[in-house]
A and B are shown apart, each in its own frame.
Chain A
């Protein structure tokens, strides 16, 4: 029986160590039927991209709690395009200032989920961005 799972890479870049949020998200996504490839903290853009390619992930999620996210995100997206994986949707979570959202979207960030975001919003984003359905995903929004 074909099983079209959503494979989601979750990582933190650079020196950011506040991993509570992304660890919680990993568990919540697993409970929604997502295969989470969890890279933890202290990743480089190159390391994330190599993992993205090897794991054939459908989507990448980054979490930030420091103010350097514009710089890191632009760098990652540039390198993703160079590596030929610029088409893989990128979502951000954590402490993202509302003022920065237009700039991030302009760069190519597809989803931004700061404090107050719900799991249903994230699940809906994952399904739309990947074109795959999660078990119970459609009903989950109800």
Chain B
């Protein structure tokens, strides 16, 4: 990496002017041409909850679903960003163009966030065939998976060869993002009790590939065998025609074990291709859960429109005074919101 100014490339040709991006059709064409600034602005509008982009998102959804989406999750400090950096490196070697959506938590107190995942991916900063976008959770709960999904629609429309989604596996809303992924990679470390923590968090069931990173640390083999044992109890473990999630060891900082991870991801994609029935079942389950998320989110948004916010506060007062219980209050609000 050069540390003097000058010399490195900036994706000037694809930044666009930043002016009015035009009609929905023009935006879709801009995205298909890979105009980064149009995509970046669109993701900002998704993040701020701009309702004016809903028709565009519907159009993107109708055309989407083409790009492989790989989800990567794990506890803070497990090495997710470093693994993503290594995956970007390997995919670039294969000539693939890569987009990354990195989701980080927001402070529940200030609403602010520090989005630092890019640091680990800094060596790709001058590569115009790598697009990295950070997204803060913004306290959205179920809405986070929706917002992330909408951002993924934008990336999908740009014709990247692969999209990586990185999210901290700490909260349900972060785990829910994985419902968009075709392949889910769960990252653990040998640090005490992590395999058991994975069980507790319920992430064991959603993983397609398990990675024990920092495999040079003490206890790595024990963590691997604990994970393998836990996976053997998974409901699909005994079915001959199901995908059997492998447990891999990596040292992401050193780049060790990454080739095996890349091969595993490819093998998993191949499994979906050769097992369309299983793939359809999985997609249906994921989409069912997303639709339930969306119902809650849509109701929540309607609730906040105009005088409904006031009604919400009034019913909240009723619940606090114990003149109305939570079930009844919710039913009343929903009956109102459905109108």
Residues of A within 8 A of B (CB): 1-5, 7, 13-15, 26-27, 29-40, 42-51, 53-56, 71-72, 75-76, 79, 82-85, 87, 135
Contact = CB atoms under 8 A, between A and B. Distances in A.
B63 interface: no
B37 A3 contact: no
A44 B8 contact: yes
Contacts of A37: 115, 118, 134
Nearest to A6: B112
Nearest to A75: B5
Interface in B115-143: 115-116, 118-119, 122, 125-126, 128, 131-134, 136, 138
Contacts of A87: 18
Interface stretch (B46-54, B64-72, B233-241, B268-276): B46-54
Contacts of A72: 5
Chain B interface mostly: loop
Interface in B1-56: 1-6, 8-12, 15-18, 36-37, 40-41, 43-44, 47-50
Contacts of B41: 56
Given A56-B43, A75-B6, A35 B122 contact: no
A33 B112 contact: yes
5 contacts: A2-B48, A31-B107, A37-B118, A40-B119, A84-B16
A103 to B, nearest CB: 17
Given A50-B10, A51-B125, A29 B112 contact: yes
A76 B6 CA distance: 9
Nearest to B9: A46
A82 B12 contact: yes
Contact of A53 (B3, B8, B11, B107): B11
B307 to A, nearest CB: 15
Contacts of B43: 56
A67 B40 CA distance: 34
A43 B125 contact: yes
A54 B122 CA distance: 13
With most chain B CB atoms within 10 A of its CB, the pick from A46, A72, A84 is: A46
Given A31-B112, A39-B118, A53-B40, A44 B49 contact: no
Contact of B10 (A26, A43, A83): A83
B114 interface: yes
Contacts of A45: 5-6, 8, 10
A11 to B, nearest CB: 10
A40 B11 contact: no
A120 B50 CA distance: 29
A54 B133 contact: yes
Given A71-B5, A84-B15, A38 B301 contact: no
